[in-house]
Amino acid sequence: MAHWPKTISGNIFTVALAIIVLPMLVWFLITLPIMFQLGLAAVALACVALAVWRHRVEAARERNWVGEFSFEDVVRRRHADEALEVAAH
């Protein structure tokens, strides 16, 4: 996943790059034959569908883990044990 730059110069560079590259990309895609354009569109749609499917699978896995034993439970129990030990002294 792309991240927005944290500096002003990085933001300016990113915007300038987009302003320069996007028109060139559009021009290149327009000059391609229609079959290549349709093929690229099919690949793009397949990638988007795959990303949506993967997101749904990951969300379902997360929902299945709710209420299950986790490392967070171990850490919470260890902190509680340490707090009781410190309180006892």
How many domains does the chain contain in total?
2
Long-range contacts of 78-84 (CB under 8 A, 24+ apart): none
pTM, rounded to two decimals:
0.53
Give the model confidence (pLDDT) of 33-74 as tens digits: 999 999 999 999 999 999 999 999 999 988 887 667 778 788
Q: Are residues 24 and 44 in the same domain?
A: no
Residue 73 belongs to what domain range?
Answer: 34-89
Q: Are residues 4 and 15 in the same domain?
A: yes
Distances (CA, A) of 45 to 9, 76, 83: 34, 44, 54
Give the model confidence (pLDDT) of 12-43 as tens digits: 999 999 999 999 999 998 999 999 999 999 99
One-letter amino acid at 52 equals V
Copy the structure tokens of residue 35: 């079959």
Burial class (CB in 10 A: 0-12, 13-18, 19+), 78: exposed
